[in-house]
Chain A
Amino acid sequence: MKVPTQKPKAAQMQAQTKTRRILLRLALLVVYVALAVALFIFNRGHTVLVDNKGDPAGTFQAFELMKVSIDGGKGMEFFKGDRDKFTVVGQRHRIRIEFPDGSKPAFEGRFIVPLGGDLFLLSVPKMVAGLEPFIEPFVVARSPLPSEEDALPLVPDVPEPILGPDGKPILALPTATPADTAGK
């Protein structure tokens, strides 16, 4: 009969420990990544431009005056043709529209902001009229941003003249020419 030796047992235990360690590390890695993804999804900020403009074709009309608040935040008043921005966090939001002139009862709705975009346009008249899509990505036609160098002030440094005891300049210092500043 074969007598089991200590060596294979120890090796087996070592292998088990190693497997357990690898599994534990993998689980931690998964938790780490999952947490990062959750933070990304639930805490990504978006800018929503709330719009109170009617359709030129007359499908829906702008409101004379409305007060909009998103997720129970501070309300903002909009007159006809107004547009203003709200910053929201996450994807799902509640919007409450009140009409201070009493022309309509208050409206409450929900909207979802896609994860990928930064800037969206939400048309309140369209939303209240039940037309889709009332929220759309808003693309700003930008001219290229000024370069860092361009952003610097173009005023050349003008050193202060040294004044004599009589208050008159005793040494006229050369001022920087445009060529100097361009060469910086």
Chain B
Amino acid sequence: MKKPILLRTIFADNLVVVIFLVITAAAVPVSGLPLLSIAQEIVTRIGRNAFLVFSLILPIMAGMGINFGMVLGAMAGQIGLIFAVDWNIVGVPGLIFASMIGVPIAALLGWMAGEVLNRARGREMVTGFILAFLMDGVYQFVVLYLMGFIIPLHSITIKLSRGYGVRNTLNLDAVRQTLDRLIPLKIGGLTFPIANYLVMAVLCIFIVWFRKTKLGQDMRAVGQNQVVSHAAGIPVERTRILAIVISTIFACIGQIIFLQNMGNMATYNAHKQTGFFAAAAILVGGASIAKATIPNVFVGVVLLHLMYIVVPRAGTNLFGSAMIGEFFRDAFSYGVIALALVLHAWRKRANADSARSGLRGGAAGNRTEPPATIAAADAGAGK
């Protein structure tokens, strides 16, 4: 029998989205920004950030939660960009060249991360987070000491004055906004970076197709229940590693797209917040650590960046200080991650309690998902 759709259930299922909508809707008029400029910013930021957020979908599908190890892919992308800038490969081919350098590094790092995460089953997110810190140290060592010393650097303009190591900030003039400007389209005062959107469309098609492949189905099965998947002959560990490898490669390409839009690169800091922003976006979009879809990515990017655009200005207008606006922005972004994680844990426990009471013959009044999904969520969290 079909369950009636309750407004309360919809509200509870999309609590994070609703909270964000309320905050941003309240902040838009206070910010005083014209709607057209907000819309232009959103259009640009979708093209800039969505690819990075997409990289989180596959690990969630494979039951590994949010891949905070995507930072590794971002580092690989930055290494690719350093070489593209060093050799002055210009335009979109420069981006492709950077990707071609970055992707093998990302695949290698992703494979390493996957191996580590397989040994930390059930604690993938925190392990990925710490792994990113560890690899940040390795990245700094490579870029600050080995580049120009052991790894040859050609251009004097990107080297530190001491003769080795890469400068703090790189000017990405050779590739700046080349993808954004490749196919510009103006509609009603808004400029759409069509090439960016086409790349994203290809990625969406890939994700939809991938879900239907044998590997995609295996990932979903592993995400639902690893023991059953293993019994069914699915190579669970390999499948999980592949999910992380693909995610890391996407993060590499996503970081390159992100940085070409920004036009410059903070060599030692640009990757650090990547995982955090992507995680915040997908959670704001209504995803959980057990389920994420393509619409979650778009809704999340739009809402999170709408907040990033309007809240600092609203804070400035309300309190006369830009700093307070920035505090708001940070507090809301971190808060939403915490809220989403707490809500997921709470919902999971409520469902488990409800299922248990159902088994004992009691009423399963609080259940919001069928028992199979509950088991899947449990397995997805690595239990």
**Residues of A in contact with B (beta carbons under 8 Å apart):** 32, 35-36, 39-40, 42-46, 87, 89, 118, 142, 144-148, 150
A36→B94 contact, CB < 8 A: no
| Distance (whole angstroms) from the CB of A71 to the closest CB of chain B | 13
Q: Which residues does chain B contribute within 8 Å of A43, judged by CB atoms?
A: 89-91, 93-94, 97
Range of interface residues on B (Cβ < 8 Å)? 20 to 34
Chain B residues contacting A118 (CB-CB under 8 Å) are 88, 154-155
A39-B161 in contact (CB<8A): no
Q: Do A146 and B161 contact each other (CB < 8 Å), given the known contacts A40-B87, A45-B88, A45-B174?
A: yes
B90 partner residues in chain A, CB cutoff 8 A: 43-45, 87, 89
A39 touches B100 (CB 8 A): yes
- The answer to whether B162 has its CB under 8 Å from any CB of chain A is yes
Shortest distance from the beta carbon of A26 to any chain B beta carbon, whole Å: 15
> What residues of chain B lie closer than 8 Å to A146, measured between beta carbons?
161
Neighbouring A residues of B93 by C-beta, 8 Å: 39, 42-43
Q: Is the CB of A39 within 8 A of B167?
A: no
Other A-B pairs, 11, CB within 8 Å; known A145-B159, A148-B160: A39-B89, A43-B90, A43-B91, A43-B94, A44-B87, A87-B90, A89-B91, A142-B156, A145-B157, A148-B161, A148-B168
Complex interface: chain B residues within 8 A of A147 (CB):
160-162
The smallest beta-carbon distance between A69 and chain B, in angstroms, is 19
A146 closest partner in B (C-beta): B161
Q: Are A35 and B100 in contact (CB under 8 A)?
A: yes
Report the minimum CB–CB distance from A91 to chain B (whole Å).
Answer: 13
Report chain A residues within 8 Å CB of B168. Answer: 148
Residue pair A44, B89 in contact (C-beta under 8 Å):
yes
Q: How far is the CB of B232 from chain A (nearest CB, A)?
A: 24
Q: Which B residues are within 8 Å of any A CB, using their own CB?
A: 87-91, 93-94, 96-97, 100-101, 154-157, 159-162, 167-168, 174
The residue of chain B having its C-beta at the shortest distance from the C-beta of A148 within the complex is B168
Chain B neighbourhood of A40, CB < 8 A: 87, 89, 97
Write 10 A-B pairs (CB below 8 A) sorted by A numbering.
A36-B97, A36-B101, A39-B96, A43-B90, A45-B88, A45-B174, A118-B154, A145-B157, A147-B162, A148-B167
Q: Hey, which chain A residues are within 8 Å of B89, CB to CB?
A: 39-40, 43-45
Given the complex of chains A and B, what is the CA–CA distance between A148 and B96 in angstroms? 30
A46 vs B88: C-alpha distance in the bound complex, in angstroms? 8
Instruction: Say yes or no: A145 contacts B97, CB within 8 Å.
Output: no
Name the B residues within 8 Å of A44 (CB-CB): 87-90
Closest to A145 in B: B161
Interface centre among A35, A45, A142 (most CB of B within 10 A): A45
Lowest 3 A-B CB distances belong to which pairs?
A43-B93, A45-B90, A45-B88
Closest to B101 in A: A36
Contact status B161-A144, CB under 8 Å: yes
Residues of A within 8 A of B101 (CB): 36
Cα–Cα distance between A89 and B88 once the two chains are bound (Å): 9
Chain B residues in 8 Å Cβ range of A145: 156-157, 159, 161
Complex alpha-carbon distance, A175 and B97, angstroms: 49
What residues of A have a CB within 8 angstroms of the CB of B100 in the complex? 32, 35-36, 39
A98 to B358, CA, bound (A): 89
When distances are taken between beta carbons in the complex, the residues of chain A under 8 Å from B87 are 40, 44
> What is the chain A residue whose CB lies nearest that of B92?
A43
The minimal Cβ–Cβ distance linking A38 to chain B, given in whole angstroms, is 9
Query: CA of A150 to CA of B94 in the docked complex: distance in angstroms?
Result: 31
Which B residue sits closest to A43, measured CB to CB?
B93
List the A side residues contacting B154 at CB < 8 Å. 118
CB-based nearest B residue for A35: B100
Query: In the complex the two chains form, what is the Cα distance from A145 to B161 in whole Å?
Result: 5
Contacts of A46 in B (CB 8 A): 88
A147 to B165, CA, bound (A): 12
Cα A118 to Cα B158 in complex, Å, equals 13
Q: Which residues of A contact B162 (CB under 8 A)?
A: 147
Q: Which residues of A contact B160 (CB under 8 A)?
A: 147-148
Q: How far is the CA of A45 from the CA of B173 in the complex (A)?
A: 11
In angstroms, how far is the closest chain A Cβ from the Cβ of B268? 11
Name the distance in Å between B224's Cβ and chain A's nearest Cβ.
31
**Whole-angstrom CA separation of A150 from B162 in the bound complex:** 12
Nearest CB in chain B to that of A142: its residue: B156
Report the separation of the CA atoms of residues A146 and B168 in the bound assembly, to the nearest whole angstrom.
Answer: 13
* Nearest residue, chain A, Cβ from B94: A43
Alpha-carbon gap, A35 to B162, bound state (A): 34
**Which among B89, B96, B100 has the highest number of chain A CB atoms within 10 Å?**
B89
- Give Cα A150–Cα B167 distance, bound, in whole angstroms: 13
Identity of the chain B residue whose Cβ is nearest the Cβ of A47 in the assembled complex: B88
What residues on B are CB-neighbors of A87 within 8 Å? 90
* Chain A residues with CB below 8 A from B88, complex form: 44-46, 118
| Nearest-neighbor residue (CB-CB) of A88 within chain B | B90
**Alpha-carbon distance between A48 and B174 when the two chains are bound, in angstroms:** 15
Q: Which residues on the B side are within 8 Å of A144 (C-beta)?
A: 161
Nearest A residue to B91, CB-CB: A43
Chain B residue, CB-CB nearest to A46: B88
Inter-chain CA distance A161–B94, complex, in Å, is 50
Q: Which residues of A contact B91 (CB under 8 A)?
A: 43, 89
What residues of chain B lie closer than 8 Å to A36, measured between beta carbons?
Answer: 97, 100-101
Residues on the B chain within 8 Å of A32, using CB: 100
